[in-house]
Chain A
Amino acid sequence: MSTFKGIWVLTKKELKDSFLSPLVYILSALFCFLMGWLFFNYLIASKEFTEQTLSQSVLLPIFGNMNFIFLFLAPLLTMRTFSEERKLKTIELLLTSRLSHFQIIMAKMISTFLMASFMISLTFIFPIILAMSGYEHWSIVASSYAGIFLSVLCYIAVGCFASSLTDNLVVSALLGFTILLGIMLFSLTGNATQNIILGQLFQYLAVPFHFDSFIKGGIRSYNILYMFSFIGFFSYLTHLSLESRKW
């Protein structure tokens, strides 16, 4: 079986399961409400900041908040991925099949990413509304969306790893959130330290530091390298976690 076919078979099943469960719709509704409310407030407030562009007064804070909200939503989206399989013992069906760990992990991550993308796509109306006001910095919009997609993919990689550690959904979500919060706090640690090199190192290790480059339209190659290394690292940890069942 080709690698992609194997990934697609499991991705398809995961997507069907997810969109048949109410969780994704409940989370989407919550996400829409929060984002809509925030967008409305930033748009109203932007009238008072006449010296700022719409990118600075609306887009920047909106994407910053979206990234923060996904810090909570991503572990909720990923909590089922491996925990439920472990709980129902269906993980044995996958592990004894011809699918490799790589295919299983990729399928789980892709299906969750597509779910998150569905939620993010609900915010496409924001740039459309801004366009009606004459906004035309589409490269900023594009790089911000690229940033949020990559950032969410990083969060999903962490969530999948947390889910592979336990068969309890709540513990999985909490664990995922704790790891993500810990990574986010690297930024604060970086700010607090007197040592410049250590400070920069901590900054570099935090996902939001790289995400900021995307929403400010100043993407560097190391931002993309960091994001993919991060995803690769946590995918490898998930592989080790699955492998540890044999130890």
Chain B
Amino acid sequence: MESASQFALELKNITKSYPGVLALDNINLQVRRGSVHGFIGPNGAGKSTTMKIIAGLIPPNSGEVYINGVDALKRKSDAASSIGILPETPPLYTNMKVRDYLRFCQDINNQSMPAREEILDEKIERCGLTSVQNRLIGPLSKGFKQRVAIAQTLVYGAEIIVLDEPTVGLDPNAIAEMRDLILELKKDHTILLSTHQLYEVGRVCDEVTIINNGKILKTGNLTEVQSEFSAYKTFEALVPKVGEALKTNLLAKEYVQGCDISERAGEYLIKIRVSGGEDHRSQLTSLIVEHGNLFQFTERTMELEDIFKEVVR
């Protein structure tokens, strides 16, 4: 049993409805202090609504939000100084210079912070903005703008950073830079990362929550979630031809949970989902060889993308 102080961010029994739509249905979310928590779900799943509730932009119909142990719905101002929010559209004053903008963000959030200029210098350097700190935000590239938006969440000493789709619209290089920045921030921040990029979640997150139709479908440590799903194994067999008999015989085996066949450049790829911890490789290869040649037989580990598809199915 973990104590509440281990969680930087906690949502308890949050329900939110819009006229005719139940956006969040009694969800519970816990983000462990010092972790990078991936928050994933298809469009309309309730991610943005959850983010807005955490940011204090909209109130829930019921439930509680705790930011660093502070009830964010009752003590909004106290909670605001320990959380930095990067919305999907970065809130940037494009007519301001980078440094002036970051100083302004410091001023409106925590004016009494000591050593403000030193902190500003440190965050500017950390986010790789030193070369552009005296330039206007407007003409900067999207990658730099996103960095400015992230720096905005750091300059007033927030411990928890909430990033809503930070890699949307970035080129592959900028995405890689953003990933490095998130990993760098992980050293002394708790990060809640909402994204569609499942590959990124797999690379930077320690914990993951999958949401769909306003309900949390799966939440926990990333490796635990992956191992939970590794109770199923997927094998891929590449064969020159395939008949209905092979598929029927495969599905007739009690340990085979599913079988999909697709054509690939004149050959056929059979995806076989197998349950249980036993090794069925020799039985499966023998069965396939009985029906013709077998070019390739591989075991696929369950990637986050597969888990996501499986969970939201």
With A95-B57, A246-B59 as known contacts, state yes or no: A90 contacts B80, CB within 8 Å: no
Known A93-B152, A246-B58; contact A99-B91, beta-carbon cutoff 8 A: no
User: For chain B residues 168-217, which have a beta carbon within 8 Å of chain A?
Assistant: none
Interface residues of A in 1-25 (CB under 8 A from B): 1, 5-6, 9-10, 13, 17, 20-21
Do B108 and A94 touch (CB < 8 A)?
A: yes
A6 touches B108 (CB 8 A): yes
Q: Which B residues lie within 8 Å of A92 (CB)?
A: 55, 57, 85, 87, 91
Is B93 in contact with A90, judged by CB distance below 8 angstroms?
A: yes
B55, B93, B94 pick with most chain A CB within 10 angstroms: B93
- The tally of CB-CB contacts under 8 A between chains A and B is 64
Asked if A89 and B109 sit within 8 Å, CB to CB, the answer is no
Complex contacts, B85 vs chain A, CB 8 Å: 92, 96
B70 CB within 8 Å of chain A: no
Contact indicator B105/A98 (Cβ below 8 Å): no
Residues B110 and A93 in contact, CB atoms below 8 Å apart: no
Nearest Cβ distance between residue A95 and chain B, in whole angstroms? Answer: 6
- Chain B contacts of A6 at CB under 8 A? 108, 111
Majority-rule SS of A interface residues: helix
Cα(A49)–Cα(B85), bound, Å = 66
A1→B112 contact, CB < 8 A: yes
A97 adjacent to B55 (CB under 8 Å): no
Nearest residue in A to B107 (C-beta to C-beta)?
Answer: A9
Interface size on A, as a range, is 20 to 34
Which residues of chain A are within 8 angstroms of B105 by Cβ–Cβ distance? Answer: 93, 97
Cross-chain contact B111 with A9 (CB below 8 angstroms): yes
Task: Write out the residue numbers on chain A whose beta carbons fall within 8 Å of the beta carbon of B55.
Answer: 92, 96
Q: Determine the distance from Cα of A186 to Cα of B208 in the docked complex, in whole angstroms.
A: 61
Q: Which residues of B contact A (CB under 8 A)?
A: 55-59, 77, 80-81, 85, 87, 89-96, 104-105, 107-112, 152
The interface of chain A, by Cβ under 8 A from chain B, is 1, 5-6, 9-10, 13, 17, 20-21, 88-100, 245-246
Jot down 18 A-B pairs with beta carbons below 8 A, ordered by A. A1-B111, A9-B111, A13-B93, A88-B93, A89-B90, A90-B91, A90-B92, A92-B55, A93-B105, A94-B108, A95-B57, A96-B56, A97-B80, A97-B109, A98-B108, A98-B109, A99-B108, A245-B58
